[in-house]
Amino acid sequence: MIDVQGLQKSYKDFQAVNNSNFHVEEGEIFGFLGPNGAGKSTTINILSTMLQPTSGSVTINGYDVTKHQNRVRESIGIIFQQNTLDEKLTAKENLKLHCKFYGVPRSKRKARINEVLEIVDLTDSINLLVEKFSGGMQRRLEIARGLLHYPKVLFLDEPTVGLDPQTRAHVWEYILKLKENENITMFLTTHYLDEAEISDRIAIMDHGDIIAIDTPRNLKQQLGGDIVEIKTTDNEAAMKEIESDFDVVDLSLQDGFINCKVENSDAFVSSFIKTLQTPLTGLDIRKPTLNDVFLSFTGREIRD
Ligand SMILES: Nc1ncnc2c1ncn2[C@@H]1O[C@H](COP(=O)(O)OP(=O)(O)OP(=O)(O)O)[C@@H](O)[C@H]1O
Ligand SMILES: [Mg+2]
């Protein structure tokens, strides 16, 4: 559904995307992650025909993004991070306007509007002014609008940013429902790594390069080992002890906890508890998360 080969984009002499190669299968949820400035928006803008690549080839639904822009635009829906609905119009008026922009045939508009409102559970609010909608309802309406013209690919740029956890969960329910019922391909960026977990595959971009691409499960397995989180009365002293006395893969201080990455947590913890001089106040063992994967590949947290 999406095929990217040798994609490069430079702004004057600055290379924002170096040499990207990836493809996305039909019906796949593809998570696209990276720290600030990695080149994610640049890539999405090229894939959605808003920006010209410097070189390389990109096809969406079989259409070249530079040669068949209109065909590409008919094939995609975009849900932007910021609200782009007209608040002074009702839900129905917003959707009608979009139908006109996208050339949905007049005879099909009414049925299609009802259909997409049903998908996001907003049928009862069809005649309500958007300014009266809650944040979560507005997001759902944006999603509905993105679906009006039967896109094959949906680009979701931070679709749940700024929403409360309950509404976030709700929006994700709809996104998953869409994947199941309509087989839409989703290209997703998010700064919430727990959300990225729902992706079938994830690409991590950094400094214009795609540095990892795999299923969330494989990425975490690739990291291997366990994370032991330790809290002590003096974390700095404890870290010095750990560095000199133990065999750890990685050691870092995060949110008042020492994060120890070890090959085998059983062996580590049993000898650690006996040997550590600094008084221990807390200990937890966990498997690597996507956050750990991200940190290990980019050396940075996903947020600045
Ligand atoms: N129009 C432009 N002219 C010059 N440089 C640009 C332009 N747009 C983006 N850049 C640079 O290209 C790099 C990639 O930017 P991009 O917006 O693609 O990053 P991003 O991964 O979307 O980051 P964020 O997470 O902050 O949204 C950055 O260093 C940015 O400063
Ligand atoms: Mg961006």
Q: Is 41 in the pocket of ligand 1 (CB under 6 A)?
A: yes
Q: What is the pTM of this model?
A: 0.83
Nearest to 83 by CA among 99, 72, 69, 94: 94
Residue 302, domain member (yes or no)? no
> Angle between the 135-147 and 165-182 helix axes, to the nearest 10 degrees?
20
| Cα Rg of the chain (Å, integer) | 23
The string of DSSP codes covering 5-44 is: EEEEEEETTEEEEEEEEEEE-TT-EEEEE--TTSSHHHHH
Do 169 and 250 reside in the same domain of the chain?
A: no
**Is 293 a member of any domain?**
no
Question: In terms of domains, do 241 and 198 share one?
Answer: no
pLDDT at position 304: 53
Tell me if 216 CB under 6 Å of ligand 1.
no
C-beta 14 within 6 A of ligand 1: yes
Find out whether the beta carbon of 37 lies less than 6 Å from any atom of ligand 1.
yes
Ligand nearest to the CA of 191: 1
Q: Which amino acid is at 97?
A: L
Kindly report the protein residue whose alpha carbon is nearest to atom 28 of ligand 1: 37
* C-alpha 157 – ligand 2 centre gap (Å): 8
Evaluate whether residue 66 is within a structural domain. yes
Identify whether the C-beta of residue 39 lies closer than 8 Å to the C-beta of residue 210. no
Domain span holding position 280: 225-287
Kindly state the average pLDDT of the residues 70-89.
90
Cα 41 to middle of ligand 2, angstroms: 4
Q: How confident is the model at residue 170 (pLDDT cuts 50, 70, 90)?
A: confident
pLDDT at 8: 98
Domain final position from 176, 203, 220: 220
Distance 15 CA to ligand 1 centre (A): 10
Element at 110 (helix H, strand E): helix 106-119
* Lowest pLDDT segment from 79-83, 138-142, 200-204: 79-83
Distance CA 22, CA 217 (A): 19
For residue 27, give the CATH number of its domain.
3.40.50.300
Atom 2 of ligand 1, residue of closest alpha carbon:
11
Looking at the structure, tell me whether residues 94 and 178 fall in a common domain: yes
Indicate if ligand 1 lies below 6 Å from the C-beta of 10: no
Order of all β-strands in the sheet with 63-64: 14-24, 2-11, 55-60, 63-64
Q: How many angstroms does the Cα of residue 45 sit away from the middle of ligand 1?
A: 11
Q: Are residues 48 and 193 in the same domain?
A: yes
Residues 22 and 114 in one domain: yes
Q: Which of 88-92, 179-183, 228-232, 276-280 has the lowest mean pLDDT?
A: 179-183
Q: Which two tokens stand for residue 281?
A: 């106040």
Distance of CA 205 from the midpoint of ligand 1 (Å): 12
Which ligand 1 atom is nearest residue 17's CA? 14
Question: At residue 160, does pLDDT exceed 90?
Answer: no
According to DSSP, the residues that pair with 286 across neighbouring strands are 227
Same domain, 6 and 132: yes
Domain count, the chain: 2
Across residues 240-245, what is the average pLDDT?
A: 93
CA distances (Å), origin 267, targets 143, 150, 244, 271, 273: 49, 55, 17, 7, 11
Digit-coded pLDDT (tens) for 35-62 = 889 999 899 999 999 999 999 999 999 9
